[in-house]
């Protein structure tokens, strides 16, 4: 995967900020929603529903972007909480930097493709939440996030997948036996 660092030399104009594990970078109802490039560590975004339950929207490891794009694009208050699951280094940036005047047509198209691929991933995410068996959801999760099972608690992965933690345990035991 092309990272933003490959595509846009974001380091030249931007300050790296360090946050320790557990830092909350954005809260629901915040009025400004930052776009965040993850240089090191892991961030996650999540909602807390009306019954108080957490649902994880996404994880972002090195090279990923995380943010609350609905809040940004529709100028609404933030819907998501975003926090650090490890000590992390991030760069805050503006979407406009990805498409700014100094960039070649080619770079701009690469950045368009970042967006297009994200839509593709979200399409799959929606379809899986609607109709896929838990084992298929986990298999796709491993394709997207191969290194996460060793870095984040299993119950968070279950939350991302929309399945019970026990269901995920059974899937993992079954996979371990099969390998």
Q: How far apart are CA 164 and CA 132, in angstroms?
A: 14
Site for a second copy in 136-165 (CB under 8 A): 162
Regarding 27 and contact with a second copy (CB under 8 A), the answer is: no
3-state secondary structure of 84: strand
In whole angstroms, the minimum distance from the beta carbon of 52 to a second copy comes to 10
Q: Name which position in 16, 18, 24, 112 contacts a second copy (CB under 8 A).
A: 112
Nearer residue to a second copy within complex by CB, 121 or 151 = 121
In whole angstroms, the minimum distance from the beta carbon of 96 to a second copy comes to 8
- CB neighbours of 89 closer than 8 A, spacing ≥ 6? 16, 17, 18, 19, 38, 39, 40, 41
Site for a second copy in 34-63 (CB under 8 A): 47, 49-50, 53, 55, 57
Q: How far apart are CA 27 and CA 21, in angstroms?
A: 16
Regarding 166 and contact with a second copy (CB under 8 A), the answer is: no
In whole angstroms, the minimum distance from the beta carbon of 20 to a second copy comes to 27
The full length of the chain comes to 179
Closest of 31, 7, 10, 2 to residue 93, by C-alpha: 10
Regarding 102 and contact with a second copy (CB under 8 A), the answer is: no
| Three-point CA angle 157, 162, 166, nearest 5° | 65
Q: How far apart are CA 127 and CA 125, in angstroms?
A: 6
Nearer residue to a second copy within complex by CB, 3 or 17 = 3
Regarding 77 and contact with a second copy (CB under 8 A), the answer is: no
Contacting positions for a second copy (CB under 8 A): 47, 49-50, 53, 55, 57, 68-74, 79-80, 95, 99, 101, 105, 108-109, 111-113, 115-127, 129-133, 162
């Amino acid at each position: 995967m092309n990272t933003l660092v490959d595509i846009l030399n974001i380091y030249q104009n931007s300050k790296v900020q360090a946050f320790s594990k557990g830092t909350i970078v954005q809260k629901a109802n915040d009025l400004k929603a930052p776009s965040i490039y993850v240089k090191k560590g892991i961030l996650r975004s999540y909602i807390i529903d009306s019954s108080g339950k957490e649902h994880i929207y996404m994880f972002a490891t090195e090279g990923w972007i995380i943010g609350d794009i609905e809040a940004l694009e529709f100028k609404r208050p933030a819907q998501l909480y975003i926090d650090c699951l490890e000590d992390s280094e991030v760069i805050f940036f503006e979407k406009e930097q990805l498409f700014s005047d100094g960039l070649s047509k080619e770079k701009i198209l690469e950045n368009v493709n970042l967006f297009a691929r994200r839509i593709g991933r979200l399409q799959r995410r929606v379809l899986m939440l609607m109709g896929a068996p838990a084992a298929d959801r986990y298999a796709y999760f491993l394709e997207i996030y191969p290194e996460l099972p060793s870095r984040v608690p299993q119950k968070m992965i279950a939350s991302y997948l929309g399945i019970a933690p026990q269901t995920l345990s059974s899937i993992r035991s079954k996979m371990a036996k099969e390998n």
